[in-house]
């Protein structure tokens, strides 16, 4: 399954890692950099 997670912080990255280990295709979406 393809999954997009809005928020690439601590919790989003944690869930993304778990989902990736379970065999899913994961994309993390974060905020753009600010100057």
pLDDT tens digits, 1-35: 999 999 999 999 999 999 999 999 999 999 888 87
Spatial contact of 1 and 19, defined as CB atoms under 8 Å apart = no
pTM of the full structure: 0.79
- Residue 26: the pLDDT is 98
Range of the domain at 9: 1-34
Say if residue 25 is exposed, middle or buried (CB neighbours under 10 Å; 0-12, 13-18, 19+): exposed
Split into its structural domains, the chain has a count of 1
Q: What pLDDT does 34 receive?
A: 81
pLDDT value at residue 35? 75
∠ CA 6-14-20, rounded to 5°: 85
Q: How far apart are CA 4 and CA 34, in angstroms?
A: 22
């Amino acid at each position: 399954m393809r999954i997009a997670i809005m928020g690439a912080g601590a919790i989003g990255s944690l869930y993304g890692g778990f989902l990736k280990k379970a065999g899913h295709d994961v994309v993390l979406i974060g905020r753009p950099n600010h100057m």
